[in-house]
Amino acid sequence: MGRHQRAETYGLVSFLFCAAIGAVSMNAYMEYAPAIWQLTQRRFMVCSGIVAGCGVISFIIGYASKSRSLNLNNGWLAPIRRIVEIVALSVVYAATIFLSSFALMGAVNDMMGNAIFAGYISSICAGFSGVVGYMTFVQAELMNAKTLASLLPFFVISGVATAGMTTDDPYWYHNNFSQLGDRTTFAARMFNSTLMLAGTCIIIVSYFAISELVTTERLQRLWHDRTNKDPNRGYDIPHFMVRTTILSALLTISGLAFIGIGVFRYTPHNLLHNICAKGLPFVMLILFVFLPWLAPRLSKAVMVASDLAALVCAGFWANMMMGHNTLTNVEALAGLMFLGWFIVFSRQIAAIEADRVAAQLLHAQMLENGLTDTPAGTPIESRIAADR
């Protein structure tokens, strides 16, 4: 079997194991859990946790089993870095699966009614666990940056929507999103946890994005230096490391701002909360406006879209200052704009990665045929691939 067919086959095996584990675990919970933990929301939390656990274990097995870095052939640094990357990716998947499963179960429960839905909770857990186990194993085998970037909106929208639907303050949106998280209720904890996980995932995805930009630039310079003896080279990006360091810092700060908004609730920590909440738009503005200088390898369409996003956010903010809009709407727009921009940015990085791998394959074929003196020894691999 080829790589893709093998991944699908092992994914089906993972489906069966995860479905069985989900059913047994949920039945055991329903049988032995105390009455206080039999409440609907806590039951959904446990079910979502079981589903997320099955998904993460399936992902780790699929991802780590193909890795060529989990040995000491290249020293201690390679396996340590690989383990850190696996843990980081597992956090992204765990957050996505947990919040998405919880939101979906809440929606189905509202549609069917708690009296009916409660009788199917073990079957639902088994089904969700099996599907998630199948998807995560296949994605782990065929992991790329586009897949990782596409996960971000699912749990953010799921977490915020769940918090909004379960809050006991039906008029929170008349003020701002901070009011939704400025309580000690389940909805507030869900909202704040979503923001903290979103910030963590932004930092993780940014790490892989920056790593790919550095890898691509180094490869471009290596090929040029070996094939072009002209010392006055003009192919590379001036001050590349300075630009990349600033880009990495801004992306990390934006992730930390999301985390800070969730960690510091407004009422006890209004100063720190406002620094994170009001500082994030300035970081966004810098990223949007200076993107052509920070990441010149991105397409011009992305840069134009970034400028348009900045203008739209500024227009909505001015409209709010004139009393024609609410802060909640402006915050929602800015948050969605940033997440949308970040997804597009990540997919652009993934496209750069795919083009680099294709170029390496082409150069390798030309080298075999003696059509180029491009040096050998540059591994043909994805920066995030499971078999790296």
Distance CA 185, CA 361 (A): 54
285-305 burial by CB neighbour count: b if 16+ within 10 A, else e?
Answer: ebbbebbeebbeebeeebbeb
Structure confidence at residue 381 (pLDDT): 55
What would the two tokens of residue 146 be?
Answer: 């586009």
pLDDT higher than 60, residue 45: yes
Q: Helix 3-32 to helix 40-64 angle, to the nearest 10 degrees?
A: 150
Helix/strand/coil for 343:
helix
Q: What is the pLDDT of residues 115-140, one digit of tens each?
A: 666 678 888 899 999 999 998 888 88
What separation in angstroms does the CA of 332 have from each of 56, 264, 335?
Answer: 30, 19, 5
Across 12-27, average pLDDT? 92
Residue identified by tokens 């003196």 is 373
Output helix, strand, coil percentages for the chain, rounded to the nearest 5: 80, 0, 20
Q: Which alpha helices (DSSP H) does 65-120 contain, by range?
A: 77-112, 114-117
Report whether 132 contacts 55 (CB < 8 A): yes
Could you say which DSSP state residue 247 is in? H
If one counts every other C-beta atom within 10 angstroms of the C-beta of residue 315, the result is 12
Distance CA 193, CA 49 (A): 14
Q: What is the pLDDT of residues 69-100, one digit of tens each?
A: 666 666 677 678 778 878 878 887 888 888 78
Q: What is the pLDDT of residues 160-219, one digit of tens each?
A: 776 776 676 666 666 666 777 777 777 788 788 888 888 887 888 888 788 888 888 887
What would the two tokens of residue 202 be?
Answer: 């932004």
Q: Is 28 exposed, middle or buried (0-12, 13-18, 19+ CB in 10 A)?
A: exposed
Global pTM?
0.74
**Nearest to 187, CA basis, from 161, 205, 213, 156:** 161
